[in-house]
Amino acid sequence: MHDGLGQVTTLPKPHIERSDGYRKLLSFVVSNARKGEIMAIENYSEMVHLMPDTDAKIETVNQAKEECKHILLLEKLAARLGFDIDDTMVEPQWETIRATFHEAVRKKDLPACLIIQDLMVESLAIGLYKVFASAANEDHDTITTAATLLKDELEHLDIGVRRIQAEMKKDPEAVNDALLWAHNRVMPALFQMIHQSCDFLCDTKNLDCTMVEKPSAEIDLELLKITALEHYVAMLEQAAFDPKITNQLIAGMASYEIPGRVNLGLDFLRKH
């Protein structure tokens, strides 16, 4: 705004009170996001030698470097807002996903590597950062960090789709086989991690995340599930996988739901 003298002034950001519960929730989310970024560094670094040419190798190294930047941004946010990065809050499914990626590298299955890191894990990251970058969120420090991370992850997703499309032109059968292999190993772990996050937080920190006083109703782990799934399904379509295979996989995700629990948003998926 203008101060009447022709000078542009910036209004100070309103101060918000962050409850102890909200700080614990942020600690849980950021600790897991940081773990995902560490895994991404390992994945991209391990995938470099599988890339088909020098330009692709350089691009992949740069992606790993960007994930390093993401870790620093998350750590700075934690320090600024006064909550801990807590490894005891990190969900165990990350290790399953990392081990599956390593197996794909060992098999020299580049399409499977791209699908795991650039479609599945990136869709989860985008869902997470999108929720916390919500315009309704009054926690401006978190919004700023999440929006920066979201922009980078969307770029990574675009790179991954482009790479998968290139692999599809060379050998569509191999790429569709890679999707089946990766989906059946990684998506159940991702679903379990997202679906049981509130229980995990309650068990480890005695915190019911549904009762936490938050600066926005849109900061909701249930919404994170839906957003991540929407991105995953959209990218399956954009990457031009065989619809017969993707429809089968999407329908099969209903089996990941836990009886008696809130569903994972598969009503959205069933429409596709």
- The number of CA neighbours under 13 Å toward the Cβ of 14 is 7
Residue 262, C-beta contacts closer than 8 angstroms, at least 6 positions apart:
222
- pLDDT in the model for residue 209: 72
| Coil/strand/helix, residue 108 | coil
Q: Say what the pTM is.
A: 0.84
Q: What are the pLDDT tens digits along the chain (272 aa)?
A: 445 555 544 444 555 677 788 888 888 889 999 999 999 999 999 999 999 999 999 999 999 999 999 999 999 999 999 999 988 889 999 999 999 999 999 999 999 999 999 999 988 888 888 888 876 778 889 889 999 999 998 998 899 999 999 999 999 999 999 999 999 999 989 888 877 777 787 777 777 777 777 766 666 777 777 778 888 888 888 888 999 999 888 888 766 654 444 444 455 444 44
Domain boundaries of the chain, sorted by first residue:
20-270
**Rounded Cα distance, 95 and 36, in Å:** 10
**Rounded Cα distance, 74 and 110, in Å:** 29
- The number of CA neighbours under 13 Å toward the Cβ of 57 is 7
Percent of the chain with pLDDT over 70: 83
CB neighbours (10 Å) of residue 240? 16
pLDDT digits (tens, 9 = 90+) for 199-226: 787 777 777 777 777 766 666 777 777 7
Rg (CA), the chain: 20
2 forms bridges with which residues in the sheet?
8
Fold assignment, 20-270: Ferritin (1.20.1260)
